[in-house]
Every structure is written in C-alpha cells, then in structure tokens.
Amino acid sequence: MSESTGGETLLFLTDEQLRQGIEAMFFAYRGFTADPDRILATMAYGRAHHRAIHFIARAPGTTVNNLLEILGVTKQSLNRVLRTLVEDGLVESKVGTTDRRERNLFLTEDGMALERRLSDAQRARMRAAYRQAGPEAVAGFRTVLEAMMDPEMRRKYNALREGGA
Amino acid sequence: MSESTGGETLLFLTDEQLRQGIEAMFFAYRGFTADPDRILATMAYGRAHHRAIHFIARAPGTTVNNLLEILGVTKQSLNRVLRTLVEDGLVESKVGTTDRRERNLFLTEDGMALERRLSDAQRARMRAAYRQAGPEAVAGFRTVLEAMMDPEMRRKYNALREGGA
DNA sequence: CTTGGAATGTCAACAAAGCTGACGTATTGT
DNA sequence: ACAATACGTCAGCTTTGTTGACATTCCAAG
C-alpha cells in the first residue's frame, strides 16, 4: 500500500489528509443529526423513526420492501418502527392496487407535520452551511459524497432524485 | 423564514437541493462506515470500539474526559468499551504524571495493529472517493463539512489537527 | 492537615435499535 | 395445485447508548 505515486496533484491524498477527512465526516454527521434528534427526544421517537418518515415523505406510496432496501435494516427492525408510526396515526399503510401483497406507505396530515418540523430543522443547518461555504464548495461536497457511496446506495440515491424531481 | 432573496447564486439553496444534500450525507455515511464495520463484525467489537481506538491513536496520552467530550457519550458507555479494550490488551491506561487522577490512554502494539487495519480500510475508500472527485471537490467537501459542525465540535476537530500535525 | 470538589471507576437497571430464526397469511404467478 | 413473494409477528439476543447511585483517589484551598 505504499503510495509512491507522489505527483503534486495527489498531495491531498496523504494519510494525514485522509484522516482529517474521516474526522470531518464524523464530527459533521454529529451536527447533521443533532437538531432532529433534539426534537425527537421530546417524544417517544428516535432516529429510526425520522429515517422512515423522511423516505416515506420523499417517495409517497413506497412499499415496505423498497424502504427496507433504502434503509438497509431488517424487516423486523423496520416493522417495529413502522408499527408505532401507524398506531400513532402518522403513517398510513394501504394495500397495493396492482399487487395486493404489497403495502403502500403514506404520511398522514400529522405525519407530514412532523416531517416538516424535522426536516426544517435539518435543512436550516444545511442551508447555513451551504451559504457559508458557497456554491462551488457545495458542488464539491456533493461530488465527494456520491463517490463515497456503495454503488447500490448510489443507485438508490439517484432513483430518489429522478422520482422526486 | 421565507427565502425570497432568490438571487441566481442562491439557486442551490432550494429545499429540493438541501434535501438531496441530506440524503447524500445519509448514504455516504453508510459507505463511510461499511468497511471498518465488516472487519469489526468478525471480532467481538463494534463501531464504538473503532471510534475509541481511532481517537486514542490520533492523540496518544489523551485523558478519559477528553475522549468523552470528543465522542459525546457518557463515561459509563465509554468505560464499557474501554474496559474490554484494556482487558484484551489493545489499550493501555496509565496513571497521569502531573495529575494522578487522570488516566492517559495509549494503544499497545496490538492496538496499533488493529487501528491500522481499520483505518487502512476506511482510508482506501476515502482515497478512492477523493481521487475520483478531484482536489477542488475535496476542498469544497471539507469546507461544507466544517460548516455543518457544532461550534464545540469544530473546536475539537481543529484541536486534533493542530495537535496531530 | 483536613476537607471539598474533581476525575475516575463501577454497579444496576433500562431503552433504542439493530440482528437471527421461525412461522403464519395473503396473494400472485406458473 | 403449488411455489414464490410480500408482509407481519413472536421470541430472544447484542451493541451501544442512557440515569442514578456510590466508592475511590487525589489535588488544592483553607
């Protein structure tokens, strides 16, 4: 693994630079989740509920299986979260129209209200960071993040962009 | 909070753009932790052990309290992790020299070996992403991440950079 | 030299959120 | 008719976080 390609354009690939990038991801992710977490802590919900709510809002009518793949958890784990959300009247689970084995998931009015509250908080931080960093930095930010994803996740990510456009 | 400043340089601040940034963070963080997670799954360790090992390697001799602040967990939670690492001979806890209440934490040879294995895996992905994205994108990536951090975390982050230089 | 407070460690109990494995039911497609 | 799929659920386990209580050790101020 000895990196002796050492051109000047590759100077930013020293282990020290990479390590700083790793730490930046760690600390930034903490900030990224901090605001929604604070809101969720006041109710009986956690980060798992937020993720489910986010992606149902993003792709209304999505199936359980699709959500499973996006979130990368087991159906048992997701089911526990989904059940409480349905019970609490934030999510509605409708039998599929074409395939009645499937369940199409939607947010109720209350669900949308919570989603808005959570994502407003998260977007506010994002907006501040974007504004501070400037458009070019934001483009670079997105480029690097996409390159870091697993190929499968990049596909899911792009599918959301196309569907949500 | 209505955003009617609408200049063309602010087009990237639409809710849709922000939402995509949020999702990019989510999917990228999954990739970011995937490789070390795979290694750790083969032993009796988890992500919490990785974090402790990383920051002890980064700042040898750090105190428990300092580590607590960096990781943002309770001492009980950290202690459980730290205890197993000490028991397994990966971390050494030495009584402080100036203040003997403190414990200075160091990695043993075995600890350093594991740290190298984990961070090699994580850096490999980082390196690939950086290389693919290019130096300018990397600079933007870092800028946005720093802007996303809580001020306290940014201080910790910068302290590590100065100390580790 | 005593004592208050700080730093650390530890016990117990608990919660959130992940996991595996097994099983049941409804529905669909072959 | 039958196999496969989508979903839900029960039971049990693990990791990693939390509170609260309490002991120990030690520095520093009085």
- The tens-digit pLDDT sequence of chain B (165 residues) is 444 444 456 667 899 999 999 999 999 999 999 999 999 999 889 999 999 999 999 999 999 999 999 999 999 999 999 999 999 999 999 988 888 888 999 999 999 999 999 999 999 999 999 999 999 999 999 999 999 999 999 999 999 988 754
Q: Which nucleotide is nearest to B71 (CA to C1')?
A: D17
> Is the Cβ pair A144, B133 closer than 8 Å?
yes
C1’ D17 / CA B6, Å: 42
C1’ C25 / CA A74, Å: 20
Beta carbons of B61 and B106 less than 8 angstroms apart: yes
In a domain, A6, yes or no: no
In a domain, A127, yes or no: yes
In a domain, A67, yes or no: yes
Beta carbons of A132 and B145 less than 8 angstroms apart: no
In a domain, B138, yes or no: no
Of residues 44 to 83 in chain B, which lie within 7 A of strand C by their beta carbon?
A: 63-65, 75-76, 79, 82-83
**In chain B, how many domains are there?**
1
Which letter, b or e, does each residue of B6-29 get, where b requires 16 or more Cβ atoms within 10 Å of its Cβ? Answer: eeeeeebbeeebbbbbbbbbbbbb
Please count the residue pairs, one from chain A and one from chain B, whose beta carbons lie less than 8 angstroms apart.
202
In a domain, B122, yes or no: yes
Strands of the sheet with B62-63, listed across from one edge:
B62-63, B103-107, B91-95
Over residues A65-117, the pLDDT tens digits come to 999 999 999 999 999 999 999 999 999 999 999 999 999 999 999 999 999 99
Domain containing residue B100:
16-133
Assign residue B99 the CATH number of its domain: 1.10.10.10
pLDDT at A54: 98
Output the average pLDDT for chain A. Answer: 92
In a domain, B153, yes or no: no
Disruptive mutation site among B15, B55, B136, B145 for chain A (greatest number of A CBs within 10 Å)? B145
In a domain, B85, yes or no: yes
